[in-house]
Amino acid sequence: MKRYDIDRERRMAWFREARFGMFIHWGLYAVPGGVWKGRDIGGVGEWIFNSAQLTVADYEPLQSQFNPVQFSAKEWVRTAKDAGMRYIVITSKHHDGFCLWDSKLTDWDIMGTPFKRDILKALATECHKQKIRLCFYHSIMDWHHPDYLPRRGWDKRPTAEANFGRYIEYMKGQLKELLTNYGPIGIAWFDGEWEGTWTHDKGEDLYKFVRSLQPSIIVNNRVDKGRQGMKGMTKGDFAGDYGTPEQEIPANGFGEGVDWESCMTLNDTWGFKTKDMNWKSAETLLKNLIDCASKGGNYLLNVGPTPEGTFPKPIVERLEVMGGWLKTHGEAIYGTQASPFPKPLPWGRVTRKGNKLYLHVFDTTQAQIILPGLKTKLKGARTLMGYPKTGAFTIDSLGNRSGSLTLGKARMPIPAVGSPEGVRITLPEALKGQLLPVIVLEFDGVLVVEPRQFLSAPIK
């Protein structure tokens, strides 16, 4: 990706430290929740305008129905913070063009609803209080605006008077509102750049425009035309500070100096959908987070609030488990670098910080695990958290523990020795049954891994 300024490393520092963020897709589409006139509409919830082939006249009445009286910015930000998330990316405007803030450039915004409160202003205030970075998703595509082109095939509004250049000025005007009235914004997260009316030149211009308003802001690669589909990485010389894989995690990462962030859903949809109950387990979500960090990337986990303004209970339950794990294991995630091994190891994942390696053990049934080709002298190995002293427990599908387990404060020494094949670690019985235990290895000097054949291992 093109580097537009010499302070890129400084701008990206907080992003690399954070590793974990909350994505929020919310808007008028939460009202139908994937159902239109009694019919369950396929696809993701926030695309119902498109999936149900609605007209603007069909869709506009949702504005008078959107009244999220249970919305609490304080509760949303607290939930994200307690989950261990370091930043929030919210849809200021999705593809339907509806705005969650008090825009002076349109009536198609939150002030035209019965709620009549600036959602983004409330979140900005609360993020500042709770020290969470606020970021804005903003769609380049706009199905509602009369000047946006191309139109959907079933949209019969006349196009003779439509002026795409005028739409771009409208979009820039709204971005100026967002980037001057809501304090420092961490990321301008663009989307919808794939349509033919958007060009490389327009992408470069928009990147520079946004950076002119907030020089320290990070801008994702969807501002321009270089993204390679859902894999999310830029190929060629295009604008954007980092790549955006969607609903997938790259098999082996991208090496040093490449910034990326996998955005993924908690169930199967981004926006709220009443009938989508296919929730990922807390263990799976934690493995995804660890997998991203082990490859030098971030994990942007999506929530789709209800039309009333609350997070569905299954989301809250899983985020609580993730937050509990990160309180004791965050050292192995925040501010870490990618594993020194070129491919994931079959028993789990590895993150790195200085001369320390953090071994995230996914499979605790093995007696021993191997760090192949590692040649640096080992100083010591121990568990990251206190180990069990008494009792026993079980873990349910959410990752919740039950039972009478008592954890000691002492960190258990772990048997680890060098061998011709690398470093061999013996797993103690006390780790078995724990939710994704972490072992810390400290080395005497720079980590050196001898090149050899590695087998990539999927998350199980």
DSSP 264-317: EESSS-SS--TT---PPPHHHHHHHHHHHHHTT-EEEEEE---TTS---HHHHH
Q: How far apart are CA 221 and CA 239, in angstroms?
A: 6
Whole-angstrom distance, CA of residue 186 vs CA of residue 129: 15
Place of tokens 């501002």: 223
Confidence band for 387, pLDDT divided at 50, 70 and 90? low
Band (92; pLDDT cuts 50, 70, 90): very high
Q: Any residues with CB less than 8 A from the CB of 152 and at least 6 apart, and which?
A: 50, 53, 143
At 111, is the secondary structure helix, strand, or coil? helix
Nearest Cα neighbor of 372 from 337, 413, 423, 409 is 423
SS3 state at 250: coil
- Split at pLDDT 50, 70, 90, the class of 388 is low
**For residues 229 and 167, what is the distance between their CA atoms, to the nearest angstrom?**
25
Closest CA to 23 of 76, 75, 60: 76
Q: Identify which of 426, 436, 430, 372 has the alpha carbon closest to the alpha carbon of residue 399.
A: 436
262 three-state secondary structure: strand
pLDDT of 403 > 70? The answer is: no
Could you report the per-residue pLDDT of 45-64, keeping only the tens digit for each? 999 999 999 999 999 999 99
Distances (CA, A) of 96 to 51, 115, 144, 211, 286: 12, 19, 6, 25, 32
Task: Please name the helix (run of DSSP H) or strand (run of DSSP E) that holds residue 405, with its range, or none.
Answer: none
Q: How would you label 267-304 residue by residue, b for 16+ Cβ within 10 Å and e otherwise?
A: bebbbbbeebeebbebbbbbbbbbbbbbbbbbbbbbbb
pLDDT in tens, 408-423: 456 789 999 888 888 9
Q: Alpha-carbon distance 28 to 97, whole Å?
A: 10
The amino acid at residue 289 is: L
pLDDT digits (tens, 9 = 90+) for 317-367: 999 999 999 999 999 999 999 999 999 999 999 999 999 999 999 999 999
Q: What is the pLDDT at residue 459? A: 56
**CA dihedral over 184, 216, 293, 357, signed as positive or negative:** negative
The backbone region for 349, taken as left when phi is positive above 0, alpha when psi lies in -120 to 50, beta otherwise, is beta
Amino acid found at 78:
R
At 1 the pLDDT is 45
Contact 250, 298 (CB under 8 A): no
Least confident of 190-194, 302-306, 351-355, 409-413: 409-413
